[in-house]
Amino acid sequence: MYFTFTDPKYLFALLTIPFIIFIYLLSLKNTKKKALTFANFNAIAKVRGVSFFSRNIITTVLSIIVITLMTLSASGMTLHTQAYASSFSFVIAIDVSRSMEAKDITPTRLDASKQTAKEFIDSSPITTKFGVVSFSGNAYIHQDITEKKGLVKESIEGIEISSIEGTDIYEAVITATNLLKEESGGSIILMSDGQMNVGEVDDAIDYANRHDVIINTIGIGTLEGGETPYGISRLNEEVLKALAYNTEGDYYSVQDKNALSNSLETIMKLSQKKISVDLSGYLLFAAMIAFFIDYILVNSRYRLLPF
């Protein structure tokens, strides 16, 4: 859980609070000097059991509360947190670059990814929605978000190794995130060997976070690597870990098809969604209540009481 501010420049208004406290203490000192000129003040205080100065403390505290709440409201204070999703949508993003032809996961990295993704869809609740994206040097939408599992599995079955060179994970994240814009809670399941050579991983992380999308990444391949038409391709975990951990998702390292299935099952069980709550309206309402209380105290018989 953390907070952000859409207009943080307004937070400078909080610097007035120490000044208010200083003025209060200064006025308290001067008022006390005047009060002590009355010979019977201490006796009166003992009899009544009250402090002559506590009235000002309450109004000063209320004033500080009003200023703080209004400042936070004007700054656009937003709460970001996570909650378990009752209904969740997934976009399965599958790497189709040439490195996914490697056979260190049988029969190949791509074939194992496709088969396990279909099994994952079959085991999901009936109301779960899915979309499908493949990516290499660019990203391609195979299926928009839908509850029709048959269509989703057909789209996955049709995925093949791309002839377009490169692996643009940034483009994959943008495409998958855009599919989730209308969903109440969403997660990307990105299946790749992490060989990113187009785009910047930081840009992908920023884009996902701006849209409250969690990225769960699955490393397809082994650290020893597998044979491809252009040589040995090894799993690059750093990119995949960065994507997952910086979007509050999880990274799973897969060495075989069974581990791949277990990873997807875990993602389904732990599905969470990001929640962003704009607190500006609530803070403004609370400020109005505090101001109203302060107004009542100052403009009622309260101001005539010696406490």
CA distance 221 to 194: 9
**Widest distance between CA atoms in the chain:** 101
Residues 213 and 248: their CA atoms lie apart, in Å, by 9
Q: Please report which confidence band the pLDDT of residue 92 belongs to, taking 50, 70 and 90 as the band edges.
A: very high
66 belongs to a structural domain: yes
pLDDT value at 280 more than 80: yes
Q: Are residues 109 and 55 in the same domain?
A: no
Q: Considering the domain boundaries, does residue 58 fall inside one? A: yes
Nearest in space to 199 (alpha carbons), one of 247, 135, 254: 135
Domain assignment present for residue 142? The answer is yes
The domain in which residue 258 lies consists of 82-277
Confidence at residue 114, expressed as pLDDT on a 0 to 100 scale: 92
Res 304: pLDDT: 47
Is there a contact between 223 and 254 (Cβ–Cβ < 8 Å)? no
- Among 149, 150, 180, 147, which Cα is nearest to 247's? 180
Within 13 Å and on the Cβ side, how many CA atoms surround 90? 28
Say how many domains are in the chain. Answer: 2
Residues 28 and 100 in one domain: no
SS3 label, residue 11: helix
Predicted TM-score (pTM) of this structure: 0.61
**pLDDT given at position 53:** 44
Judgement on whether residues 97 and 198 belong to the same structural domain of the protein: yes
Contact assessment for residue 288 and residue 66, using Cβ atoms and an 8 Å cutoff? no
Stated length of the chain = 307
Q: How confident is the model at residue 127 (pLDDT cuts 50, 70, 90)?
A: confident
Q: What are 2's strand-pairing partners?
A: 80
Residue 136 CB-density burial (10 A; 0-12 exposed, 13-18 middle, 19+ buried): buried
- pLDDT at residue 55, as a whole number: 53
| Section 8-29 average pLDDT | 81
Q: Is residue 257 part of a domain?
A: yes
* Mean pLDDT of the region 59-78: 86
Task: Identify the bridge partners of residue 77 per DSSP, sorted by sequence position.
Answer: 5
Phi, psi of 60 (to 5 degrees): -65, -45
Percent of the chain with pLDDT over 90: 26
> In terms of domains, do 87 and 230 share one?
yes
Top-confidence residue, 221 or 261? 221
Could you give the C-alpha distances from 92 to 11, 120, 173, 259, in angstroms and in order?
41, 10, 11, 17
Q: Is residue 4 part of a domain?
A: no
Q: What is the mean pLDDT of residues 123-150?
A: 91
Question: Do 266 and 163 reside in the same domain of the chain?
Answer: yes
Q: Which of the pair, 219 or 256, is modelled with greater confidence?
A: 219
168 and 42 fall within a common domain: no
Residues 20 and 99 in one domain: no
Beta bridge pairs of residue 132? 92, 143
| Digit-coded pLDDT (tens) for 141-164 | 999 999 999 999 999 999 999 988
Q: Does residue 61 have a pLDDT over 90?
A: no
Domain membership of residue 5 (yes or no) is: no
Report yes or no on 2 lying in a domain. Answer: no
Rounded-to-integer distance, Cα 88 and Cα 172, Å:
20
Residue 271 has pLDDT above 70, yes or no: no
Q: Are residues 99 and 162 in the same domain?
A: yes
Average pLDDT over residues 199-204: 86
- Residue 6 placed within a domain: no
Pairing mode, strands 129-135 and 214-220? unpaired
Same domain, 218 and 179: yes
Q: What is the pLDDT of residue 14?
A: 87
**Do 52 and 94 share a domain, yes or no?**
no
Average pLDDT over residues 39-46: 51
* 143 sits in which H/E element: strand 139-146
Query: What's the per-residue H, E or C state across 53-117?
Result: CHHHHHHHHHHHHHHHHHHHHHCCEEEEEEEECCCCEEEEEEECCHHHHCCCCCCCHHHHHHHHH
- Output the average pLDDT for the chain: 80
What is residue 307's predicted lDDT score, i.e. its pLDDT?
42
Report whether pLDDT(293) > 70: yes
Average pLDDT score over residue span 81-85: 53
Q: Are residues 123 and 69 in the same domain?
A: no
Predicted local confidence at residue 87, as pLDDT: 57
pLDDT at 120: 85
Query: 54: buried, middle or exposed (CB in 10 Å: 19+, 13-18, 0-12)?
Result: exposed
**Same domain, residue pair 248 and 102:** yes
pLDDT at position 52, please? 42
CATH number at residue 155: 3.40.50.410
